[in-house]
Amino acid sequence: MLVEKAVLKNVWCIRLNSGDDVLSSLSEAVKKHGINNAFIIAGTGSTVNHHFHVVASPNLPPGNVFTKEDKASDVLNLNGFVINGRVHAHITHSDKDIAYGGHLEDGVKVLTFLSITLAEVDISLDHWDTMGSIEEHRKH
């Protein structure tokens, strides 16, 4: 386990418009504004479709199952990290019956709007989304 203190540098509010691709638009905003490391702390709105993947097995490394469907839904949350300028986001969708989601993939289009909040931090988030301990990765 690693516990690391991070100081917030800036909080960024990003609003995506109808028809915007969630992942590519968020990645574009991160690049345009030089956001290197950040926590994606919130995201709400709606989409016309979903595209995400989830782990498929308890074995390491786990396999992935991808799901993609044209189906309008509310976005209950979008969270994750920006790691060295790369967006690693997870999304939770909801319809009238269930909530579902996983690791955000490309091609998800905004229906009405999607508001996202990023908290930029002063630490490197390298290897926070890789297998193995961070200490092992930092040795190399």
CB atoms within 10 A of CB 76: 15
Tens-digit pLDDT profile for residues 21-52: 999 999 999 999 999 999 999 999 999 999 99
Whose tokens are 């979903």? That residue is 50
Residue 100 pairs with which residues in a beta bridge? 93
Tens-digit pLDDT profile for residues 75-122: 999 999 999 999 999 999 999 999 999 999 999 999 999 999 999 999
